[in-house]
Amino acid sequence: MKIARSLQSLKPSYIREILAAAKAPHMISLAGGLPAEDTFPMHILAPIMTQLARLPSLFQYGPTQGYGPLLAYCDQHFAYQPTHTSLITTGSQQGLDLIARAYLDAGDAIVMEAPSYLGALQVFELAQARILPVAQTSTGPDLTQLEAYFAKHSPKLFYAVPDFHNPTGVCWSHATREHVATLCQRYGVVLLEDAPYRELRFSGESLPMVSELCPEQAVVLRSFSKYVSPGMRVGVITGPERFICPLITLKQAADLHSSVPMQALLLETLMYSDFPQHLQAIRTLYQVRYQVLTGALAEQLPQCAATPIDGGMFVWLTLPRCDVEQLAAHLLQQGVAVVPGSVFYPADVDAPPCCAVRLNFTHAEPDTLVEGVSRMADVFAHIQE
């Protein structure tokens, strides 16, 4: 059977491929976006799972929109207005897919930050959207370019990760958040705010979500993957009913509903009395690992520059001019996996202006992070000989 035209041009995710290579023995992987397994709250999950196993009704088919008590929690914590509602998704990745299928026709213009989350690029390329890449600065998107896109192309949506961006770790400033909210309202562009890293702030002051500043013009994707467990595959999409209701119908056709036992497990975990302490411990652990990684980089690779961050899971390392994909291949041969920055740009965009790699600091132990940087320094020394 011939595959659909839309799928023919879709490249398999580079990260999934590199992650497969990164499983080799003695490989140090700084490539994936994996949380540390010792942050999974097993001590909280285990007794809850035993309790849930006594409730057969949870193992029955459930409602498409989500498990009622979890939806009530979402209304209380995430809805900005009484007219806002939520849909529980199978990870926030499914939220992206539903949005693309519900709202984008081939050729529709959308704006994305450049670089951008690879999983979102895949979804929007599959939907054959016309991607307008807005350059990123240290405080968020280039606002002049963003307004020019809004004015000239009337994009349907602006997809953005304002808190601890994947791959750059950038966190938008307060002023940028206000400006983007105003632009979305003025030009009638829907903001799709993807916020999987928001809870992982380990320094600096918390800023409002951009969607809070334009609640009628925004849809928010939340994920529990990075601070509860990615394998549970639970996310939630929240926004005005007029945007969410079509997604519920679409999800019926996609997978009927997300796993009810996993939704119940997630809810009980979030409500567990010690959960805030658990979350704080994750932040502290990641801050230490971030400091270890950036300390080793400053010492061993002074010719490279790591963009400073206040949270999230990634360091964006800018390198002296080089072929970054070839460099990543060399590093892989020497036993360290990183992601070349070039893969985070839409396929038809010209070569990115900078030469950078994305490094994950949350999964590897501190000693391993230091060893990974030593291996990188050896490869650099060899290249520069």
Ligand X SMILES: Cc1ncc(COP(=O)(O)O)c(C=O)c1O
Interaction site with ligand X (CB under 6 A): 33, 91-93, 117, 119, 161, 166, 194, 196, 223, 225, 230, 235
**C-alpha closest to that of 136 among 298, 307, 11:** 307
CB of 349 to ligand X, least distance (A): 18
d(CA 298, CA 317): 11
Residue nearest to ligand X (CB): 91
d(CA 281, CA 226): 13
Give whichever of 345 and 380 is closer to ligand X, judged by the CB atom. Answer: 345
Give whichever of 162 and 240 is closer to ligand X, judged by the CB atom. Answer: 162
Please tell me whether residue 42 adopts helix, strand or coil conformation: helix
Whether the CB-CB separation of 114 and 345 falls below 8 Å is answered with yes
Q: What share of the chain is helix, strand, coil (3-state, %, to 5)?
A: 50, 15, 35
**C-alpha closest to that of 351 among 130, 114, 124:** 114
Give whichever of 243 and 380 is closer to ligand X, judged by the CB atom. Answer: 243
d(CA 158, CA 183): 11
**C-alpha closest to that of 138 among 307, 346, 321:** 307
CB of 185 to ligand X, least distance (A): 24
CB of 15 to ligand X, least distance (A): 9
Which run of H or of E encompasses 181? helix 174-187
Contact partners, residue 294, CB within 8 Å, separation at least 6: 306, 308, 315
CB of 377 to ligand X, least distance (A): 28
Give whichever of 265 and 301 is closer to ligand X, judged by the CB atom. Answer: 265
CB of 152 to ligand X, least distance (A): 27
Report residue 207: phi and psi, to 5°.
-115, 155
Tokens of 141: 């998107």
Tokens 């280039």 -> residue: 142
CB of 120 to ligand X, least distance (A): 6
Give whichever of 166 and 294 is closer to ligand X, judged by the CB atom. Answer: 166
CB of 113 to ligand X, least distance (A): 10
Give whichever of 93 and 168 is closer to ligand X, judged by the CB atom. Answer: 93
Give whichever of 91 and 340 is closer to ligand X, judged by the CB atom. Answer: 91
